Amino acid sequence: MSQTQTAARKPRHRTYRRNRPKRQSVGQHLHEGDGVYFLKLVVVVLLGTLWIKFATPMSWNGIPLGAFPLGALIGFVGIRVFEKDRYDRKIWFAVLVIVTILSYFVPAGIVI
């Protein structure tokens, strides 16, 4: 071997995985606290119960319309904008739909 090839060679040091700095993977995120999760749950439930109910049902294309789920529409947009993780979005959408359907039969909402 020539002298330039020997001089160019450097001893290799092993780096073990446990010594490397920790990196977050792309899909991993920090978990939110219980208080934040509970606040989101309360907001989604309150939005699901917000209906605009009409004193006299209106007719739209022959379909009687007695109420309009205003809170559900606001909730869908809000969840889509503010929740970044798609699995959390699916959970919040499911909670919103269930609460909206159940609250339709409850005498709650704004009567116009």
**Span 59-74, average pLDDT:** 89
Establish if 2 belongs to a structural domain. Answer: no
Residues counted in the chain: 112
Establish if 25 belongs to a structural domain. Answer: no
pLDDT at 17 over 60: yes
pTM above 0.75, yes or no: no
pLDDT digits (tens, 9 = 90+) for 18-62: 666 666 555 555 677 889 999 999 999 999 999 988 888 888 888
In which residue are the tokens 């073990």 written? 16
Which is nearest to 69 in space by CA: 87, 83, 51, 81?
51
pLDDT in the model for residue 15:
65
Contact 42, 66 (CB under 8 A): no
Establish if 48 belongs to a structural domain. Answer: yes
Q: How many domains does the chain have?
A: 1
Q: Pick 62 or 111 by higher pLDDT.
A: 62
Domain that holds residue 49: 40-56+66-112
pLDDT in the model for residue 1:
56
